[in-house]
Structure 1
Amino acid sequence: TPELGNWAEGLIFYHMDLYGSKERFDIFPEEPSGQADRSRGNSRKEPALSSEKIQHSQEAGYDLEKEVAELAKMYGLDEDKEKELALLGGHLETVERRWPPAHTQKAGSQGSELPGEASQDEDQSKAIAEDDAESHMWSREGLSSGGMSDERSSQAVSEEEETADVFCSTCKTPIRAFDKLFGEHRDHEVAQLSNAVESEKEEIHKNMCKLEEQIAQVENFASHLEEIFITVEENFGRQEQNFEVHYNDAVQVLAQKYEEQLEALGEEKRRKLEALYGQLVSCGEHLDTCKELTDTTQELYLENDKANFMKAAVTVVDRLEEFLKKEVDLELSTLPEFEERIIDFSEVEQLMNSINTIPAPCAPVINPQAPNAATGTSLRVCWGLFSDDTVECYQLCYKPVSNERHGDEQAEHVLKVKETYCTITNLLPNTQYEFWVSALNASGISPPSERAVYVTAPSPPIIKSKKIRSCENAALVCWESRDINPVDSYMVELSKLTDEENDDTITESIVGIPNCEVLIHLQPIQSYRICVRALNLGGSSERSEPVLIHTTGTYFCLNEDTAHPLLAILDDGFTIACDELENLECDLPVYDNSFTRCIGILGSLIPFPGKHYWEVEAEEDTEYRIGVAFENTPRHGYLGANNSSWCMRHIITPSRHKYEFLHSGMTPDIRITIPPTRIGVLLDYENYRLSFFNADIAQHLYTFNSHFQHYVHPCFALETPGILQIRTGIAAPPWTALP
């Protein structure tokens, strides 16, 4: 029932063997065999035996009731006493129904049972009682588990119904969509739960990044503090050593002064004592002389002989007069007091003051130039101080290095900086500069360092656009340097334009180019942007002005220094014109490499193997020569009149248009009925052929079969006033393919 299911919720029943021994449920315990024998022999003890069995059964029932009460109290079921008593009463009724009390049986029946049969019946009764108790417990456990499963399923359904699917931005909590429509969150701003999760994750990620940055800053600051701790310890050690040295020097100077003063004082004492001793000796001698004269005078007074008296008196009087004439020095030759000596402590004071005075620094050591540390107009110079000297600032001097031995001395520039590095600007590109540095403090300036030579980066090269030649799979790029001094190498950067509208580029670099031209292998039918950089020890220059190269066909320019003086090249660079032929002997400028007789011009050399195609447009009445020639073709002759040139010639006779295909002055007899106004020229190095076509009607005119020992130049000439227009960079048409 539902009530029983709720009552059994959370209650787990175990087998009764876990709670006690099997004898606890033996309501009718096994009778000893000795008692059975005695019952058959003594019928008077049957009533007592029956009463004992009843008492045992009652005690067994009481024990079972007590056990159930303990279980109910253990699992908190003591409140439902009725269910507990019903369970207990049903169990007792089952036991009593299967095993009636012993006092209802007759004594004769008990007496007729054998001992083996009695023990067998008692074993069966025990097994049946255990089975009933176990089945009752399992039934209660099934009810309990059924109630629990029902409640869990109901909880799962309620959880599914209450799952949050939106996020309330106002309350900052997940809610159900139902609460947004009809609940207390109706007027709040909400968002999809997935979007809110992504937004919150992004915010957490940003905060984590900020936290990582803060951690990095704190770690850097902690490292800086550790360095400061070490610096304080080092400075303390140096200062302590400085104090010790200066105080030792001061004590040594004081000891020296003490010894000097003590020695001078002893010398003065010795002089005083010697002077007093000399004066004392002089006084003694004077007293002795006085005493001797006194004795002599007294003896003279006692002389009775007048003659002897007079003789002796004259001598004594002379001695007395001479002695008395001498002045007696009764003043002390020296005073007992010593002179007050002033001790000169200036040196000691200087030493004491020098304790807080730093010495002049030693000479710094300037570093050699680091690669790629310069630009075309600036240099970064670094140096170090390999001592414990205190430095207030540095004095950096520099000047350009002059290559002329007897040139004027370059002016020196001086800068004062605080750090051990300096960036110098406004310099000349690709120029060497000499640097040296000195350290300064309050005590003075250090000797200068060794001199180091630095070089600025080169200037951007200039690409010669008129010298560029290209074909479908290669290009020859030429440039020139702006600097007087040579550079170490050049680097070409090319970008394949994959989308001109979006300027999407794929960049490649070619490095280590020793001279001012390079042959680059490219892909057909592509567009490239090419720049050049110059490199030296200081670094690389800025990019040159870019040029565009299209690999749709052969591209070349006209070589102006080979043009005849009467031949003009128009602004587009691919149209030549001749206005007059009368002034062939005029004084126009003539170059060493220009044509002098044939009014012609050469194009740039075509140095690429394979096939090359270009076209020439001319009016029907224009007389011309077009073809190819070697570099050394004679400039004083006509094109096609020698073995170094091959050309197609068009002249007008009174009867017709005449076309000649000249090489060494020879031509085949060919008649062309339709005069071409657009002539196609196909040069095939691999098959040793030079072919001419009427491009207007796709007609093959003639082919030279010749083994070209060298690369050739396109050549063009006018024999009458007119114009020739050259078209390059176009792909060879399919009809130019010859068998």
Structure 2
Amino acid sequence: MSSRSGRAREYETSDQLPGRSASPPAPEFSETEAEGLIFYHMDLYGSKERFDIFPEEPSGQVDRSLGDTRRESTLNSEKFQCSQEAGYDLEKEVAELARMYGLDEDREKELELLGGHLETVESKWPPAHAEKAGSQGSVHNASKSSSPVKDQSQTTKQQGLPSEASQDGDQSKARVEDEAESHTWSREGLSSGGMSDEWSSQPVSEEEEAADVFCCTCKMPIRAFDKLFGEHKDHEVAQLPSAVESEKEEIHKNMCKLEEQIAQMENFASHLEEIFITVEENFGRQEQNFEAHYNDAVQVLAQKYEEQLEALGEEKRQKLEALYGQLVSCGEHLDTCKELTDATQELFLENNKASFMKAAVTMVDRLEEFLKKEVHLELSTLPDFEERVIDFSEVEQLMNSINTIPAPCAPVINPQAPNTATGTSLRVCWGLFSDDTVECYQLCYKPVSTERHSDEQAEHTLKVKETYCTITNLLPNTQYEFWVSAVNVSGISPPSERAVYVTAPSPPTIKTKKIRSCENAALVCWESRDINPVDSYTVELSKLTDEENGEITESIVGIPNCEVLIHLQPTQSYRICVRALNLGGSSERSEPVLIHTTGTYFCLNEDTAHPLLAILDDGFTIACDELENPECDLPVYDNSFTRCIGILGSLIPFPGKHYWEVEVEEDTEYRIGVAFENTPRHGYLGANNSSWCMRHIITPSRHKYEFLHSGMTPDIRITVPPKRIGILLDYKNCKLSFFNADIAQHLYTFSSQFQHYVHPCFALETPGILRIHTGIATPPWTALP
């Protein structure tokens, strides 16, 4: 504002306006008139206050305001005429005045406040209205804000120039009309947050270009100006690019769903086409079936007809032959009767008595002989034919078979799917790739045997309604052979091809006594309980904490052998389980074991123990009652010590430092240290180059301690007999150190290259016991300079 005031004062002292000829000097105002002079800050951006040129004043100042209005109107008309006469640029003058009074600075501040959104609105004004409003606003601003202009208008009015006075009324009227038009357009266009009627008739694409935010409430793009001042003021909006991305993503999702539906409908349409073709094929096959069965039925009926007709003709022939024979016999009998009757009548007519008597005797004999014959007067056969029952059972069977489908085709058994079996059950699936009707399936299976007499294995048969079956009570990790047949009323189909399925393995058994661990690793060993080999093993770890209940935190899969080296975190407790896997699936978890990574943990290898050496129940205490026992019946292994009453611990296969302690009795002679796997079993520990030992022996004069390797020992005297000996094995630095753990005293250190991993070793030379303590964190005092 300081620059603006300076420029105003500078301009007030000037004699003329830029671009105009010099005017007569204006008379000085009175003090009262100077106090009534008001400077107005014009808003060039279409606000409502732009047209309120004169603020409301008290009634006492109305006359002065009217006079100022007339003078201002006269000045404007003068400027307009002079500008046309002199040919100067009015817009240039307006820009100069705006720069002089700092109006461009106000515009920049308002643009910063509104975030540049008003500039977008201004860019959408119609060119004619924008130019008109801008030019009018600039003229009014100049007439309203410039005190020299007012001074000149007042001076002109006082001088009473006739040319300006005659045009005062017309120019004031034109100015008021222009202001009214501009004011109306501003109210309709800006204050309502929209455009004028003329501008609203522009194409929709131009309105969309103006939108730079998205109204989430109305679901439409809007201008930021409408969010700040318009009808969307209280609505939730989002950035247009993010809204576009969101809508694109939603459209993409819907398109994906449509594509899925299209794929489904295409698959369904394809299936319908297949069904259509199947219906046609089934119709043709059924038609052929009907025709074949009807032809068979007609053929059977014709055959029955011929047979019955032939039998009926044979019966007729037999009847006629019997009747004809009876008729012939009856005729012969009649003929004989007639002949005898005629002969008898002739005999009665004979007059010669002698001749009559001769002939009568003969006739009487003939008549007696003839009458003795029996005459059959009954019919030999009846004229009626017997009732014949036609057997239509075969025809009925043929007729009934027309509605019966043929025997089904052979099913197709599926190969075993992964992870579909347990240790005692299998899920078998098959399919029937035909349109045959099936009432049930007949599933058969038997174990697969590699022996020659595998056919002698017992077969099991199940009847199943579905195309799948779960078989239980099976042996773990065992292969079974399956085949299936389809059954309906017409018969049973041929069997399917045979498929081999395998059950899941049995849970492995972790060898607890062979587990070795240190502060950052563990070696876990197990054995399979099945005869058949498995594909791989999986080790599952769960870290035990106070907050958790031992849920599985890590799984190591694809282990081919029965042991694995696991990297762990120090000072933690783990629960470890093992599963066996094959094609059928995974076995149940093995019995869990606990592993603590507080220190090195190893076990004693019983196979290496001397027969006189006993391992107590805790597994870490060894004892020897007597040095010689001729009646010893203890087992002797090939790997056992035979001369030294000793034993090896399990191998320590972990790099780094390892620490354990041995608790000894003061009057016990012993050897403790480390040894290679191939250390001789028939010798003494420390007497060869494959073992390093601390030896304690009791002499008449003192307790003697020796540190042996290849039979050599340095001359070291220990004044305080240790009762708890600490042993530190450092693979990295190739050192083996011994300590008196009770008083943290370093006893001796071997420096030797360990070409292989070593075993802890222990031996007794007199009856006594040794207690071994493992899983102990390495004490800080074991660090040697």
Q: Equivalent residue of 1:356, what SS?
A: coil
Contact map agreement 1:493 1:532 (CA 8 A) in 2: yes
Q: Equivalent residue of 1:459, what SS?
A: coil
Q: Equivalent residue of 1:429, what SS?
A: coil
Equivalent residue for 2:533? 487
Q: Do the aligned partners of residues 317 and 214 (structure 1) sit closer, same or farther apart at CA in structure 2, a change above 3 Å counting?
A: same
Task: Identify unmatched segments of 5+ residues in structure 1.
Answer: 1-150
Contact map agreement 1:393 1:419 (CA 8 A) in 2: yes
Q: 1:259 aligns with which of 284, 301, 306?
A: 306
Contact map agreement 1:690 1:704 (CA 8 A) in 2: yes
Contact map agreement 1:434 1:454 (CA 8 A) in 2: yes
Amino acid at match of 1:541: S
How is 1:675-694 mapped onto 2 (pairs within 5 angstroms)? Answer: 679-683=727-731, 691-692=736-737
Q: Do the aligned partners of residues 161 and 365 (structure 1) sit closer, same or farther apart at CA in structure 2, a change above 3 Å counting?
A: closer
Q: 1:179 aligns with which of 226, 244, 247?
A: 226
Q: 1:534 aligns with which of 580, 590, 601?
A: 580
Equivalent residue for 1:275? 322
Q: Do the aligned partners of residues 325 and 428 (structure 1) sit closer, same or farther apart at CA in structure 2, a change above 3 Å counting?
A: closer
How is 1:663-702 mapped onto 2 (pairs within 5 angstroms)? Answer: 663=709, 665-670=711-716, 679-683=727-731, 691-692=736-737, 701-702=748-749
How is 1:94-243 mapped onto 2 (pairs within 5 angstroms)? Answer: 159=206, 163-243=210-290
Contact map agreement 2:600 2:774 (CA 8 A) in 1: no
Contact map agreement 1:660 1:670 (CA 8 A) in 2: yes
Amino acid at match of 1:311: K
Q: Do the aligned partners of residues 194 and 601 (structure 1) sit closer, same or farther apart at CA in structure 2, a change above 3 Å counting?
A: same
How is 1:416-431 mapped onto 2 (pairs within 5 angstroms)? Answer: 416-425=463-472, 427-431=474-478
Q: Note if 1:662 corresponds to 2:708.
A: yes
Amino acid at match of 1:257: K
Equivalent residue for 2:760? 714
Amino acid at match of 2:359: A
Q: Equivalent residue of 2:728, what SS?
A: strand
Q: Do the aligned partners of residues 283 and 590 (structure 1) sit closer, same or farther apart at CA in structure 2, a change above 3 Å counting?
A: closer
Q: Do the aligned partners of residues 290 and 197 (structure 1) sit closer, same or farther apart at CA in structure 2, a change above 3 Å counting?
A: same
Q: Equivalent residue of 2:257, what SS?
A: helix
| CA positional deviation for 1:392 | 1.0
Q: Do the aligned partners of residues 581 and 389 (structure 1) sit closer, same or farther apart at CA in structure 2, a change above 3 Å counting?
A: closer
Equivalent residue for 2:675? 629
CA–CA distance in structure 2, aligned partners of residues 341 and 308 of structure 1: 64
Q: Note if 1:378 corresponds to 2:425.
A: yes
Contact map agreement 1:372 1:540 (CA 8 A) in 2: yes
Contact map agreement 2:613 2:646 (CA 8 A) in 1: no
Equivalent residue for 1:23? none
Report the aligned-residue RMSD. Answer: 5.8
| CA positional deviation for 1:600 | 5.7
Identity %: 76
Q: Do the aligned partners of residues 332 and 614 (structure 1) sit closer, same or farther apart at CA in structure 2, a change above 3 Å counting?
A: closer
Contact map agreement 1:432 1:456 (CA 8 A) in 2: yes
CA–CA distance in structure 1, aligned partners of residues 370 and 447 of structure 2: 97
| CA positional deviation for 1:553 | 10
Equivalent residue for 1:602? 648
Q: Note if 1:614 corresponds to 2:661.
A: no
CA–CA distance in structure 2, aligned partners of residues 690 and 185 of structure 1: 82
Kindly provide the CA deviation profile for residues 566-611 of structure 1, in whole angstroms up to 9, marking residues without a partner as x: 887897x8xx668x99888999997746779978652212468xx6
Contact map agreement 2:210 2:223 (CA 8 A) in 1: yes
Q: Do the aligned partners of residues 475 and 309 (structure 1) sit closer, same or farther apart at CA in structure 2, a change above 3 Å counting?
A: same
Q: Do the aligned partners of residues 546 and 577 (structure 1) sit closer, same or farther apart at CA in structure 2, a change above 3 Å counting?
A: closer
Q: Do the aligned partners of residues 715 and 402 (structure 1) sit closer, same or farther apart at CA in structure 2, a change above 3 Å counting?
A: same
CA–CA distance in structure 2, aligned partners of residues 736 and 590 of structure 1: 43
Q: Note if 1:640 corresponds to 2:686.
A: yes
Q: Equivalent residue of 1:482, what SS?
A: coil
Amino acid at match of 1:264: A
Contact map agreement 1:457 1:540 (CA 8 A) in 2: yes
Contact map agreement 1:613 1:732 (CA 8 A) in 2: no
Q: Which moved more, 1:167-176 or 1:618-627?
A: 618-627
Count of residue pairs brought into register by the alignment = 566
Q: Equivalent residue of 2:221, what SS?
A: strand
Amino acid at match of 1:266: G
Kindly provide the CA deviation profile for residues 156-200 of structure 1, in whole angstroms up to 9, marking residues without a partner as x: 9x9599611222334322111222333333444433323322332
Q: Equivalent residue of 2:525, what SS?
A: strand
How is 1:173-572 mapped onto 2 (pairs within 5 angstroms)? Answer: 173-300=220-347, 303-320=350-367, 322-323=369-370, 332-357=379-404, 373-383=420-430, 390-396=437-443, 415-425=462-472, 427-431=474-478, 439-442=486-489, 454-464=501-511, 466-469=513-516, 477-483=524-530, 485-491=531-537, 509-510=557-558, 512-513=560-561, 516-517=562-563, 532-536=578-582, 538-542=584-588, 556-559=602-605
Equivalent residue for 2:100? none
Q: Do the aligned partners of residues 201 and 282 (structure 1) sit closer, same or farther apart at CA in structure 2, a change above 3 Å counting?
A: same
Contact map agreement 1:361 1:446 (CA 8 A) in 2: yes
Contact map agreement 1:467 1:478 (CA 8 A) in 2: yes
Q: 1:649 aligns with which of 695, 703, 720?
A: 695
Kindly provide the CA deviation profile for residues 203-242 of structure 1, in whole angstroms up to 9, marking residues without a partner as x: 2233223323333333343344334334434443443344
Amino acid at match of 2:728: G
Kindly provide the CA deviation profile for residues 509-540 of structure 1, in whole angstroms up to 9, marking residues without a partner as x: 54544xx346x698999999987543456444
Amino acid at match of 1:681: L
How is 1:44-63 mapped onto 2 (pairs within 5 angstroms)? Answer: none
Q: Do the aligned partners of residues 318 and 517 (structure 1) sit closer, same or farther apart at CA in structure 2, a change above 3 Å counting?
A: same
CA–CA distance in structure 1, aligned partners of residues 660 and 387 of structure 2: 120
CA–CA distance in structure 2, aligned partners of residues 567 and 281 of structure 1: 128
Q: Do the aligned partners of residues 260 and 411 (structure 1) sit closer, same or farther apart at CA in structure 2, a change above 3 Å counting?
A: closer
Q: Do the aligned partners of residues 182 and 207 (structure 1) sit closer, same or farther apart at CA in structure 2, a change above 3 Å counting?
A: same
CA–CA distance in structure 2, aligned partners of residues 420 and 267 of structure 1: 59
Q: Which moved more, 1:597-606 or 1:488-497?
A: 488-497
Q: Equivalent residue of 1:315, what SS?
A: helix
CA–CA distance in structure 1, aligned partners of residues 322 and 662 of structure 2: 137
Contact map agreement 1:650 1:657 (CA 8 A) in 2: yes
> What is the TM-score normalised by the length of structure 2?
0.56
CA–CA distance in structure 1, aligned partners of residues 616 and 581 of structure 2: 36
| CA positional deviation for 1:647 | 1.0
Task: Identify unmatched segments of 5+ residues in structure 2.
Answer: 1-197
CA–CA distance in structure 1, aligned partners of residues 715 and 593 of structure 2: 45
CA–CA distance in structure 2, aligned partners of residues 305 and 431 of structure 1: 127
> What is the TM-score normalised by the length of structure 1?
0.59
Contact map agreement 1:276 1:332 (CA 8 A) in 2: yes
Q: Do the aligned partners of residues 665 and 235 (structure 1) sit closer, same or farther apart at CA in structure 2, a change above 3 Å counting?
A: same
CA–CA distance in structure 2, aligned partners of residues 570 and 270 of structure 1: 111
Contact map agreement 2:407 2:487 (CA 8 A) in 1: yes
Equivalent residue for 2:160? none
Equivalent residue for 1:33? none
| CA positional deviation for 1:457 | 1.2
CA–CA distance in structure 2, aligned partners of residues 378 and 162 of structure 1: 69
Amino acid at match of 1:312: A
Q: Equivalent residue of 2:760, what SS?
A: strand
Contact map agreement 1:472 1:522 (CA 8 A) in 2: no
Q: Do the aligned partners of residues 554 and 380 (structure 1) sit closer, same or farther apart at CA in structure 2, a change above 3 Å counting?
A: same
Amino acid at match of 1:615: Y
Amino acid at match of 2:659: E
Q: Do the aligned partners of residues 698 and 225 (structure 1) sit closer, same or farther apart at CA in structure 2, a change above 3 Å counting?
A: farther
Amino acid at match of 2:241: S
CA–CA distance in structure 1, aligned partners of residues 212 and 721 of structure 2: 85
